[in-house]
Amino acid sequence: ESGLYLHIGFESGLYLHIGFESGLYLHIGFESGLYLHTGFESGLYLHIGFESGLYLHIGFESGLYLHTGFESGLYLHIGFESGLYLHIGFESGQYLHTGFESGLYLHTGFESGLYLHIGFESGLYLHIGFESGLYLHIGFESGLYLHIGLNQACIFTLGLNQACIFTLGLNQAWIFTLGLNQACIFTLGLNQACIYTLGLNQACIYTLGLNQACIFTLGLNQACIYTLGLNQACIYTLVLNQACIFTLGLNQTCIYTLGLNQACIFTLGLNQACIYTLGLNQACIYTLGLNQACIFTLGLNQACICTLGLNQACIYTLVLNQACIFTLGLNQTCIYTLGLNQACIFTLVLNQACIFTLGLNQIWIYTLGLNQACIYTLGLNQACIFTLGLNQACIYTLGLNQACIYTLGLNQACIYTLGLNQACIYTLGLNQACIYTLGLNQACIFTLGLNQACIYTLGLNQAWIFTLGLIVF
């Protein structure tokens, strides 16, 4: 060496230093084990070392060289650095660094395992390393070079918690680079505030593989989902099911914003209870395009339909047919509430069986305005008329004429039950053929109060009188 050379040593074991240094050389050493240093450094050289194990340094550095080392295991450094070189090392395992760096070089290392660095960097070089396993870096970087080698295993090992992540200012790009996956996010305890601060958007959430369990654990609420821009495709990918939607508090506005359509609602498995909780009203059901198949799948029953306020227009739009009405269990009260009028009943093709099942009584028929044409269309037969309790006033109101009475098959027992008197028979225009068809016998004629004028009007001839068994007084 030439110039000022200072070596303060507390080494133990085999220590070998072959030096051709020039300038100011300072080495403070607490090495143990085999230490070999071959040096051709020039300029200011400072080495503070606490290495253990096999340490080999072959150096041709020039300029300001500073090495603070706590390496353990096999350490090999072959250096031709120039300029300001700073290395603070806590490496363990096999460490090999061959360097031709120039300019400002700063390396803070906590590597473990096999570490190999061959560098020809120039300019400002900063390497903070926490690598583990096999690490190989061959560098020809120029300009500003920044390498922070914290991988997922390292983050775990170092125990960097949420506060630490914040302090370090780790943003989305950083999270990507480090490859922090779902397990890591859990372990680090990154909560909603952290996710916001880090700026993790939808693409990031995808890349990190945050699934439903993770979203729960992180406590991402509705506001967060908005901020992160999670759209329908994302919700699918994350497999957010009904329980998750509940927990996240996604209300009607949110469902709109997220663009959850019918297919999505199916996939997410939103059932009746969920629809209630989310407050999906009629407008929402429209917007989401929930058709008959969807209503079935979701299990929307009568109470739900009422609560959601699905009116006649909505029922039309949703194409709820007879089978659907049955399945949904819409009873008389519900039909009232929904305001289903005659046109609606037609459109829905509610047949006799349906009317029975729904328990539509006489008042209901009035309210809905079911006229003769409607009764025909619906196929209401005698049994149905009985069941519905249509009395004389109702028959009048509905305008059931002779043809209708025929079609419906109202026989004598039915006429009795309905209380059709002479005025009614007139009004309905029941002629002789009709009386025959209906099977009105003598007792019936009496009961109905058919007088002479009526007999005339109806055209009851002799054969008819005989047939009916009318005794002529």
pLDDT, tens digit, 9 for 90 and up, residues 413-470: 777 667 777 777 777 777 777 777 777 777 777 777 787 778 777 778 777 777 777 7
Q: What does the pLDDT look like over 219-277, one tens digit per residue?
A: 555 455 544 545 444 444 444 544 455 455 555 455 545 555 545 554 555 554 555 45
Name the band, by pLDDT with cuts 50, 70 and 90, for residue 107. confident
HEC secondary structure over the chain:
CECCEEEEECCECCEEEEECCECCEEEEECCECCEEEEECCECCEEEEECCECCEEEEECCECCEEEEECCECCEEEEECCECCEEEEECCECCEEEEECCEEEEEEEECCECCEEEEECCEEEEEEEECCECCEEEEECCECCEEEEECCHHHHHHHCCCHHHHHHHCCCHHHHHHHCCCHHHHHHHCCCHHHHHHHCCCHHHHHHHCCCHHHHHHHCCCHHHHHHHCCCHHHHHHHCCCHHHHHHHCCCHHHHHHHCCCHHHHHHHCCCHHHHHHHCCCHHHHHHHCCCHHHHHHHCCCHHHHHHHCCCHHHHHHHCCCHHHHHHHCCCHHHHHHHCCCHHHHHHHCCCHHHHHHHCCCHHHHHHHCCCHHHHHHHCCCHHHHHHHCCCHHHHHHHCCCHHHHHHHCCCHHHHHHHCCCHHHHHHHCCCHHHHHHHCCCHHHHHHHCCCHHHHHHHCCCHHHHHHHCCCCC
> What average pLDDT does the structure give for the chain?
64
Q: What is the pLDDT of residue 369?
A: 55
Of residues 285 and 20, which shows the higher confidence score?
Answer: 20
Is residue 50 predicted with pLDDT exceeding 80? yes
What's the mean pLDDT in 24-48?
Answer: 84
